[in-house]
Amino acid sequence: MPVAVFTHHDCLLHHAGPLHPEAPARLEAVLARLAAEPGAAIRQAERSERPTLEAVHPESYLLMLEALSRRGGGALDSDTVLNESSWSAACASAGAAIDAVRHAAAGEGHAFAAVRPPGHHASAAQAMGFCLLNNVVVGAREAQRLGRPQVLIVDWDVHHGNGTQSLVERDPSVRFVSMHQWPWWPGTGAATERGVGNVFNVPMPAAQPPERYVEALWSAISAATADWTPDFVLVSAGFDAMRGDPLGGFTLEPGHYAALTTRLRDRFPDAPLVGVMEGGYIPARLAEGVAAHVQALG
């Protein structure tokens, strides 16, 4: 059965300015690659609504993003810029994550959310690092609402998922594993940051053999779940840890993501698995990484 890939056309309308690395071409390349993949079925998601997002983000923050976008946009920081369609794109991204979770939780198969803007740097009330809404935590709260109380979030983006950590680090119902380049932006994610014992950070140097990254991440996943079994698994699926990405220095290739995805499926056979797209800034390489991950989901 083809893997359901949830997306929304509004995700292509967000523009952060000329030459910005988080550009519509990223998602365009992914969707074109998956359209040619017989193991993937692209589906249009529903946009999320503000009350649903309030499970993660306060109303005042959501209203601020919406108002700024409706005024034509503006810069929240040097990296994070909105245009007139950014609020719609953010709601569409979160909506695709929610629909992917609902699909998987209903027993219809593992799923993927092909979205932008990404989300794992967004905290409760602060956008940063190209991210407006934390799509993966929105997805985690939806999984819990659907009766999957224990959620594992694995973040293999080359940058630490600081927003995700800030949102779950005091919640023992969620375990968060992040492997990321260190030292590197955003400067968080030390191994000593443990939350309430539910955070497992794996800071790694650049330019290592790819097998070292795979085994380091897998060791952390094993440690995080040694005495705890997830009811749902979410992957913050960034592909900027691939060799040659301009915003990272890791050396992974598409096959490594496929292998990690297969290992997650095998270790947690009763847990639905959903990937949510994060970074990856060479569109063709991003597309190949996503395709490998989606193929392994199937």
Condensed to tens digits (0 to 9), the pLDDT of residues 86-126 reads 999 999 999 999 999 999 999 999 999 999 999 999 999 99
Burial of 16 (0-12, 13-18, 19+ CB in 10 A): buried
Supply the pLDDT for residue 251.
98
Q: How far apart are CA 174 and CA 102, in angstroms?
A: 18
- What's the pLDDT score for residue 110? 98
- Dump pLDDT digits (tens) for 257-267: 999 999 999 99
Instruction: Tell me what pLDDT residue 84 has.
Output: 98
Active-site annotation, residues: 121
Mean pLDDT of the chain: 98
Host H or E run for residue 237: strand 232-237
Q: Is the peptide bond before 186 cis (omega within 30 degrees of 0)?
A: yes
Per-residue pLDDT reduced to its tens digit, 45-72 = 999 999 999 999 999 999 999 999 999 9
Largest interatomic CA distance in the chain: 50
User: Which residues have C-beta within 8 Å of that of residue 133, sequence separation ≥ 6?
Assistant: 53, 56, 57, 65, 90, 91, 93, 94, 117, 119, 122
* Per-residue pLDDT tens digits for 152-201: 999 999 999 999 999 999 999 999 999 999 999 999 999 999 999 999 99
Task: Work out the pLDDT band at 213, boundaries 50, 70, 90.
Answer: very high
What per-residue confidence (pLDDT) applies to 159? 98
- Average pLDDT score over residue span 221-234: 98
pLDDT at 201: 98
Q: How far apart are CA 127 and CA 172, in angstroms?
A: 24
Mean pLDDT in residue range 212-219:
98
State the CATH number of the domain containing residue 277: 3.40.800.20
The domain total for the chain is 1
Distance CA 140, CA 124 (A): 14
Can you tell me the mean pLDDT for 218-243?
A: 98
What range defines the domain where residue 183 resides?
3-297
